[in-house]
């Protein structure tokens, strides 16, 4: 099939899945994977292959950079006791557990270890796509784990491939591989982010800034590959650093444009990737001799079940070391349910398939690498089971777990909003004097600021009152379900009940002359714009200070900053984006 035909077909598949998913009330990646499986029944379409270098060099840098860029750095710091063992020790334990089972079921040991390395790490893009209904804290922990565990899996993969190819592996070479992979990857990420900082601080145009942002993940990956380090870790480190320093080296227009472009671009790449995984599964299935399919299906189910058992057992064993800040509050049963949710949410995806497809065809002696087809088949099968079984199962498990609500982000959002508006109001007199603003414009801005502050306070009070009313309603439902169902009264009026009445436009006066004692409307507009921009700068300054102090989360800062950017663009005019 020609490249253009495949591109159009892939685009149509993503469009179809995007339209169908909301109507079927199913997550979009699941629908896209099924579409890929169905398309794979057409022999000509199975020719559309997914080269491993395409995933490693095109898909992963973009998607991992986006996920790390939108990850809470504060959550990563607070959950290090959870993230470090889960992204290192658990990956190694999972790889060797899978290798032991696969070897016992007839796969050569070297191929079994490669298979373990391929399926050990949960996938960041799959977690991000399917784990949104989890509480914020749990979701961020899983996301951070899946962003950092690929480096460990690739180290295990390199060691396993060296064994399979007939090379010599010693404790010294293993130690060197681990150190180079992690330290080199981290250093490459820091260097790439530093280069981006030096370049972007001198750029002022939206297109130039965003082009630098697009080049950054590929640069980080390239620097890591040059020293045989982890390109995945380099991209993640670069993304976390840029997320922290970004507000000071980007503009409001570039951030608004980047949010739209990256969101759309990553969605398209992610959708195309799930369709291609479905096609790849069909290709592998038809390429395996029929006599081996039954055995390989048993191996696939056994490996998938082993990943479940190892992940839950590892959390249980390491609970005394991670309970301090990461465990959900409540009884032992609550912690057990949280571990079950965490286990089900460990999806496998693109990284696993890329590792499996990258396995060499022959050894150093030129003979065929034993078990390669089985590695690809089982890996693809584990991905399908992970997405098509764990994905639909996760919502039911979350409802069963009854995890405590996580309203911390909303509380911090309201706190930060009140803080930045209050700081701007406190500085309005000084800013007006500094920028030569008239009293009329200053007083109007002050009145608007107080209205925003009152609205924020009213929303916070209404939300708290609604939470109390919900608790009362639940208690009444426990006592008398029928009465609660018929007598519940909403404490918060619907949005439509609050109406703003605007007076019709009227011609207040007509005159042939002009009152020269009044300030020109153009002057007042310019003064209002200058004051607005000065107030926005003060609000951003306070917002970033709150982030530095750890008072508010990075994601809260990102959400509030997006609103401030929109106000700045409105003040400057839409032309400022260009």
Q: Residue 567: pLDDT above 70?
A: yes
Residue 93 covered by a domain: yes
More confident residue, 137 or 556: 556
Provide the pLDDT for residue 78: 84
| Segment of 45-59, 119-133, 253-267 carrying the highest mean pLDDT | 253-267
Q: Which residue has the tokens 């080296």?
A: 249
Q: What percent of the chain has pLDDT over 70?
A: 86
Q: Could you tell me if 214 and 538 are in contact, meaning their C-beta atoms sit under 8 angstroms apart?
A: no
Residues 6 or more apart whose CB falls under 8 angstroms from that of 474 comprise none
Residue 502 covered by a domain: no
148 plus 190 within the same structural domain = yes
Q: How far apart are CA 302 and CA 310, in angstroms?
A: 12
Radius of gyration of the chain (CA): 28
More confident residue, 358 or 428: 428
195 plus 319 within the same structural domain = yes
- What's the structural domain count of the chain? 2
Provide the pLDDT for residue 331: 53
Please state which of the ranges 34-38, 64-68, 214-218, 462-466 shows the lowest mean pLDDT: 462-466
343 plus 454 within the same structural domain = no
Q: 484: number of CA atoms within 13 Å, CB side?
A: 13
* Domain residue limits at 464: 408-474+521-577
Which of 349, 383, 401 terminates a domain? The answer is 401
- DSSP assignments along 488-521, one per residue: ---SS--GGG-----PPP------SS--TTSPPH
Provide the pLDDT for residue 318: 81
Provide the pLDDT for residue 498: 38
366 plus 448 within the same structural domain = no
| Segment of 370-374, 468-472, 483-487, 515-519 carrying the highest mean pLDDT | 370-374
430-438 long-range contacts (CB < 8 A, ≥24 apart) are 431/531, 431/534, 431/535, 431/538, 432/531, 434/534, 435/527, 435/530, 435/531, 435/534, 436/527, 437/527, 437/530, 437/531, 438/519, 438/524, 438/527
Provide the pLDDT for residue 81: 86
316 plus 451 within the same structural domain = no
263 plus 367 within the same structural domain = yes
Provide the pLDDT for residue 44: 79
Q: Residue 324: pLDDT above 70?
A: no
Residues 6 or more apart whose CB falls under 8 angstroms from that of 92 comprise 120, 152, 156
Interior/surface letters 20-47, b for 16+ CB within 10 angstroms, e for the rest? ebeeeeebbbbbbbbbbbebbeeeebbe
Q: What is the mean pLDDT of residues 97-122?
A: 93
Residue 513 covered by a domain: no
Share the mean pLDDT of the chain.
82
26: confidence class by pLDDT, cuts 50, 70, 90: confident
396 plus 422 within the same structural domain = no
More confident residue, 97 or 516: 97
Provide the β-strand partners of residue 362. Answer: 368
Q: What is the mean pLDDT of residues 476-495?
A: 48
Residue 204 covered by a domain: yes
367 plus 466 within the same structural domain = no
Please state which of the ranges 14-23, 338-347, 476-485 shows the lowest mean pLDDT: 476-485
Specify burial of residue 253 (Cβ count, 10 A radius: 0-12, 13-18, 19+).
buried
137: confidence class by pLDDT, cuts 50, 70, 90: confident
522-561 pLDDT, tens digit per residue, is 788 888 889 999 999 999 999 999 998 888 888 899 999 9
Q: What is the mean pLDDT of residues 508-517?
A: 42
| Segment of 149-158, 289-298, 540-549 carrying the highest mean pLDDT | 540-549
CATH number at residue 106: 1.20.1530.20
Q: What is the mean pLDDT of residues 36-49?
A: 82
- DSSP assignments along 89-133, one per residue: HHHHHHHHHHHHHHHHTT--HHHHHHHHHHHSSPPHHHHHHH-TT
| Segment of 27-41, 104-118, 282-296 carrying the highest mean pLDDT | 104-118
357 plus 457 within the same structural domain = no
Q: How far apart are CA 233 and CA 187, in angstroms?
A: 10
128: confidence class by pLDDT, cuts 50, 70, 90: confident
Provide the pLDDT for residue 480: 57
| Segment of 187-196, 330-339, 545-554 carrying the highest mean pLDDT | 187-196
More confident residue, 469 or 335: 335
Q: What is the mean pLDDT of residues 54-72?
A: 83
Residue 479 covered by a domain: no
Residue 124 covered by a domain: yes
Tabulate helix, strand, coil % of the chain (nearest 5). Answer: 80, 0, 20
Which of 368, 401, 434 terminates a domain? The answer is 401
77-90 pLDDT, tens digit per residue, is 888 888 889 989 99
Report which of 64, 26, 575, 39 is spatially closest to residue 349, judged by C-alpha positions: 64
Residue 188 covered by a domain: yes
Q: What is the mean pLDDT of residues 131-156?
A: 84
Q: Residue 507: pLDDT above 50?
A: no
Q: How far apart are CA 449 and CA 433, in angstroms?
A: 17
322 plus 363 within the same structural domain = yes
Which of 360, 375, 401 terminates a domain? The answer is 401
189 plus 156 within the same structural domain = yes
SS3 letters for 319-346?
HHHHCCCCCCCCCHHHHHHHHHHHHHCC
Report which of 486, 455, 492 is spatially closest to residue 470, judged by C-alpha positions: 492
140 plus 78 within the same structural domain = yes
Residue 496 covered by a domain: no
Please state which of the ranges 197-201, 289-293, 463-467, 515-519 shows the lowest mean pLDDT: 515-519
């Amino acid at each position: 099939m020609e490249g253009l035909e495949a591109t159009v077909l892939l685009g149509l598949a993503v469009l179809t899945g995007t339209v169908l998913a909301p109507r079927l009330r199913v997550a979009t990646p699941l629908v896209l994977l099924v579409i890929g499986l169905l398309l794979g029944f057409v022999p000509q379409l199975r020719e559309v292959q997914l080269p491993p270098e395409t995933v490693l060099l095109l898909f992963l840098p973009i998607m991992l950079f986006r996920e790390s860029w939108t990850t809470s750095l504060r959550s990563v710091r607070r959950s290090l006791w959870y993230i470090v063992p889960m992204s290192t020790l658990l990956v190694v334990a999972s790889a060797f557990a899978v290798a032991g089972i696969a070897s016992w079921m007839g796969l050569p040991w070297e191929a079994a270890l490669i298979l373990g390395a391929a399926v050990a790490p949960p996938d960041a893009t799959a977690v991000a796509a399917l784990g949104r209904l989890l509480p914020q804290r749990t979701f961020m922990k899983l996301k951070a784990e899946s962003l950092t565990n690929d480096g460990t899996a690739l180290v295990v993969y390199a060691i396993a491939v060296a064994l399979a190819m007939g090379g010599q592996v010693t404790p010294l070479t293993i130690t060197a591989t681990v150190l180079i992979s992690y330290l080199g990857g981290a250093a490459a990420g820091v260097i790439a982010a530093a280069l981006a900082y030096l370049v972007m601080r001198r750029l002022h145009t939206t297109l130039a800034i965003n082009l630098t942002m697009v080049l950054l993940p590929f640069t980080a990956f390239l620097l890591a590959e040059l020293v045989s380090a982890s390109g995945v870790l380099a991209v993640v480190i670069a993304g976390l650093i840029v997320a922290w320093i970004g507000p000071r080296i980007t503009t409001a227009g570039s951030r608004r444009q980047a949010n739209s472009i990256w969101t759309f671009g990553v969605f398209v790449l992610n959708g195309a990737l799930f369709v291609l995984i479905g096609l790849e599964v069909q290709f592998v299935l038809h390429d395996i001799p029929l006599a081996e399919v039954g055995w390989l299906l048993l191996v696939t189910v056994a490996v998938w079940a082993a990943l479940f058992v190892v992940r839950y057992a590892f959390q249980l064993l390491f609970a005394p070391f991670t309970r301090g800040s990461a465990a959900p509050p409540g009884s032992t049963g609550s912690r057990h349910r949280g571990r079950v949710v965490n286990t089900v949410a460990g999806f496998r995806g693109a990284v696993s398939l890329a590792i499996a497809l990258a396995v060499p065809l022959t050894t150093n002696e030129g003979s065929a690498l034993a078990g390669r087809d089985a590695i690809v088949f089982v890996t693809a099968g584990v991905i399908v089971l992970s997405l098509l079984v764990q994905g639909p199962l996760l919502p039911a498990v979350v409802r069963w777990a009854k995890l405590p609500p996580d309203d911390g982000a909303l509380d911090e959002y309201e706190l930060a909003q009140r803080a930045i508006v209050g700081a701007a109001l406190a500085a309005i007199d000084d800013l007006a004097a500094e920028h030569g603003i008239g009293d009329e414009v200053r007083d109007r801005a002050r009145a608007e600021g107080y209205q925003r502050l009152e609205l924020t306070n009213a929303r916070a009070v209404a939300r708290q009152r609604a939470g109390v009313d919900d608790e009362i309603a639940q208690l009444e439902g426990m006592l008398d379900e029928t009465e609660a169902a018929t007598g519940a009264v909403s404490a918060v009026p619907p949005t439509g009940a609050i109406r703003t009445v605007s007076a019709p436009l009227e011609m207040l006066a007509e005159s042939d002359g002009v009152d020269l004692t009044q300030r020109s409307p153009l002057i007042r507009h310019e003064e209002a714009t200058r004051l607005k921009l000065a107030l926005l700068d003060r609000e951003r300054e306070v917002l970033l200070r709150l982030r530095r102090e750890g008072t508010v989360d990075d994601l809260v800062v990102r959400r509030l900053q997006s609103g401030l950017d929109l106000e700045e663009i409105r003040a400057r005019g839409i032309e400022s984006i260009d």
